[in-house]
Amino acid sequence: MRSMILKAALRIFREKGYDGVNMRNIAEAIEYSPATLYLYFKDKNELYFALQFEAAAAKREHLLPAMQIEDPWQRLIDFGRRYIDFGFKHPDLYDLLFITRAPMEHIENQECWLLGIATHKFFVDTVQACIDQRYFKSTDAETIAYTLWCHAHGMVSLFIRERMRMYPEEKRLELAAKSFAMIVRMAESL
Amino acid sequence: MRSMILKAALRIFREKGYDGVNMRNIAEAIEYSPATLYLYFKDKNELYFALQFEAAAAKREHLLPAMQIEDPWQRLIDFGRRYIDFGFKHPDLYDLLFITRAPMEHIENQECWLLGIATHKFFVDTVQACIDQRYFKSTDAETIAYTLWCHAHGMVSLFIRERMRMYPEEKRLELAAKSFAMIVRMAESL
DNA sequence: AAAAACAATGAACGCCGTTCAGTATATTTG
DNA sequence: CAAATATACTGAACGGCGTTCATTGTTTTT
């Protein structure tokens, strides 16, 4: 039953986006009363956590190929490229994972968060591997990782939340690509 | 009357944040009926645009001292530092300006957007001035500005939307400071 | 067959943004 | 002056939202 609800929720989320999902149309989709949902989920937040888990899983899958690259520097670059690519291709999922405010209280004990932590750890480890192999002079893996993440997240979130309107629409992706190339070049000097 | 409504809205926004503002409690604050608001504002969006303008003005004021620095490289650094500082100190205002989804349709003809464009232009011009004075070898002012913006916005928005929970609370600001120093160093190699 | 546990719901509550017919007051007009 | 018009405002409602709860059927246990 829980999985039936989740499946419906995910489908509606994919079709109509975050704002299109609500308890009433999920209930309608599975042909139950809205009240029934509350027998299987404490509230809407708990349901969203599950959606977030789905998003985290989708993201992990999207990043997976990068994770298998041997050379840490190439791995880092591909990881970054794929992270950004995921954000641009699945704005709703990215939004749910990294922007949405709603279900963020007490997230640390949720599956989705653990999955995110794991991915983040992998990212930091890759930076550390680059340091170990002398790709960077700097030795602060945490700060390097965070800096790169901020840049990538900044690009995706400014795009998703439509704060790039000063650039003509057809130039936005190009600018992002140029910026990614630039941060890679900048990172080489670290 | 319009300004009376706005004043109340802004006050409530400051006190209770974005989610705490609604048509009913604004009306209550000025001791009118909710319906009255609709005589002076088309809808909630139009009211939010006004709030966004206030936020944009507050941000501009926060950045103003940086704008008066002669040396473009120092100006750029101080501008960045102040931008981030504004975000951390006024998360609600920053959120309204750069993250909130709600009132983003047809924003290009709103005052707040024009103010934002102006500030953005100033930023790009400062980068261009750095290029002209040979602080950068690279000559693509637009991409440089965008890259730096993405990093700054990434830091602030990850913080505001609570995606830094993997770092202990007391370390977050420190990490942001380190990252800012790092991006400055990286920029020096551009 | 009676008792207990479970599954599901209709109807409601309180919140929200928004609309509109209607009222009370001020202004203009003949 | 009274009548007509314009202005300012509102109560009550609509539809949508998340959520709760007494009640109803149904199944399982005793």
For A86-148, give the secondary structure using H, E and C: HHHHCHHHHHHHHCCCHHHCCHHHCHHHHHHHHHHHHHHHHHHHHHHCCCCCCCCHHHHHHHH
Is B105's pLDDT higher than 80? no
Q: What is the pLDDT of residue B180?
A: 98
d(CA A177, CA B146): 11
* CB contact at 8 A, B145 and B75: no
* A102/B146: higher pLDDT: B146
What is the mean predicted confidence (pLDDT) over A38-44?
Answer: 93
| Of residues B150, B175, B178, nearest to A155 (C-beta) | B150
Q: Give percent of chain B above pLDDT 90.
A: 78
Using the structure, give the distance in angstroms from the CA atom of B61 to the C1' atom of C8, rounded to a whole number: 58
| B114-159 per-position pLDDT tens digit | 888 999 999 999 999 999 999 999 999 999 999 999 999 999 999 9
Which chain D nucleotides are covered by protein, judged by CB under 7 A? 8-13, 16-22
Give CA angle at B143 (B86, A173), nearest 5°: 100
HSE (side-chain half, CA atoms, 13 Å) at B128: 7
d(CA A104, CA A80): 25
Is the CB of B190 inside 8 Å of chain A's CB atoms? yes
Q: What is the pLDDT of residue A73?
A: 97
Q: B175, A108: Cβ pair inside 8 Å?
A: no
Q: B166, A142: Cβ pair inside 8 Å?
A: no
Q: Which residue is associated with the tokens 């939010």? A: B48
Least confident of A107-111, B56-60, B110-114, B169-173: A107-111
* B101/A22: higher pLDDT: A22
Mean pLDDT of all residues belonging to chain A: 93
* B105/B133: higher pLDDT: B133
Which chain C nucleotides are covered by protein, judged by CB under 7 A? 7-12, 15-21
Structure tokens at A128: 């550390």
Is the CB of B101 inside 8 Å of chain A's CB atoms? yes
* B41/A19: higher pLDDT: B41
Q: Would you say the C-beta of A39 is within 7 Å of strand D? A: no
Q: Which residues in chain B have Cβ-Cβ distances shorter than 8 Å to A143?
A: 175, 178-179, 182
Least confident of A21-30, A73-82, A155-164, B98-107: B98-107
* B20/A159: higher pLDDT: A159
CA distance to partner chain A, nearest, from residue B127 (Å): 15
